[in-house]
Structure 1
């Protein structure tokens, strides 16, 4: 029973992370489109966001390899467990895929809001990884620990470009209610959605990988280092 509990917990944890990493780098494609249109001469900002995108893709590939080594596919979770999905839906009142990129490009206020959402999401991710690195069920999986150590190292550079843009343009920091929304989304996932998924009988697994149909140029190449124990 204990072995089943641990395996299911880790499978769900990995499924949530691989979804969010894939959503992360595909959503950043939209951000890059906006930044390149708004500030084509800001090479430093564009390069920093491109690195963020590459890191999210790298993390996705590492989780994919982790599942392949386990011989199973991730559970078929959806946007309801995506932190950035929920944050964007609350702050912009529409799904990420429905976000009007042209409107974001044209409006300082909308781009500013997007920068704060991304920054808060990345900071939340960093704090959660710190917790997971101490989690007893996670610590027994050396391959998973290695993945989270890579994420912990990469994460601080992910909120930096968005905080930098806000500071350089004299924009405000997140207010208490924006932080409260971030905390609510995180608590909702941990206290409601994760337990419900854990207890759902017959929870289906994906039949293909999220990046299976992406053009090679969009997926970008990344050859993961071995992560087996």
Structure 2
């Protein structure tokens, strides 16, 4: 019984993470578009965000490999389990796909808001990985532990460029209510959505990988050896 519980938990955990990592690197393309239009000569900022994107892609591929080693596909979770999805929807009143990139480029307050959302999301991710690295249901999986150790090392560089832009341009830090939204989204996933998904055995598995239709040069990106 305990073994089945653990397998189900890790299955859901991996499925939620692989969704969020894929959502992360594909969404950062929108951020890069805005940054390159707003500050084309800020090569340091552009390089930092490109590294963030590359790391998110690397993390996605690691979780993909974790599922491949088990011979199965991730469960089909959607944007309701995406932290950045929920944060953007609450803050901008639109889904990520509906975001008006041109408005974000043109309006300083919109780009500022987006930077705070990304920074808080990445900091939340780092805190959660620290918890999972001590979680008794996770520590027995050597491959998963290796993935989370790599993510733990990568994460601090992910919120740094956005915090740096905010400080360099005299923008404010996140306020208590923005941090409250971040905490609410995390609690909603942890205490509501995860238990519901855990008990719903009708959730189907994906029939193809999220990156199935991406260009070959993107899918050829390197990934750490996990075995």
1:226 paired residue number: 225
Whole-angstrom distance in 1 between the partners of 2:220 and 2:184:
35
Whole-angstrom distance in 2 between the partners of 1:208 and 1:131:
30
1:88 paired residue number: 88
1:41 paired residue number: 41
Whether the aligned pair in 1 keeps the contact of 2:132 and 2:138 (CA below 8 Å) is: yes
Whole-angstrom distance in 2 between the partners of 1:128 and 1:40:
34
| Superposed CA RMSD | 0.8
* Stretches (4+) displaced over 4 A: none
1:145 paired residue number: 145
Aligned length: 227
Whole-angstrom distance in 2 between the partners of 1:83 and 1:178:
13
Whole-angstrom distance in 2 between the partners of 1:93 and 1:174:
18
CA deviation vs aligned residue, 1:35-77 (integer Å, no higher than 9, x gap): 0000000000000000000000000000000000011100000
1:3, CA displacement in angstroms?
A: 1.0
CA deviation vs aligned residue, 1:119-172 (integer Å, no higher than 9, x gap): 000000000000000000100000000000000000000000000000000000
3-state SS of paired residue (1:88)? helix
* TM-score, length basis structure 1: 0.98
2:214 paired residue number: 214
Structure 2 residue 23 is the aligned partner of structure 1 residue 23: yes
2:97 paired residue number: 97
CA deviation vs aligned residue, 1:156-199 (integer Å, no higher than 9, x gap): 00000000000000000000000000000000000000000000
Whole-angstrom distance in 1 between the partners of 2:60 and 2:68:
12
Whole-angstrom distance in 2 between the partners of 1:88 and 1:25:
15
* TM-score, length basis structure 2: 0.99
1:2, CA displacement in angstroms?
A: 1.1
Q: Structure 1 pair 220/204, CA: closer, same or farther in 2 (3 Å)? A: closer
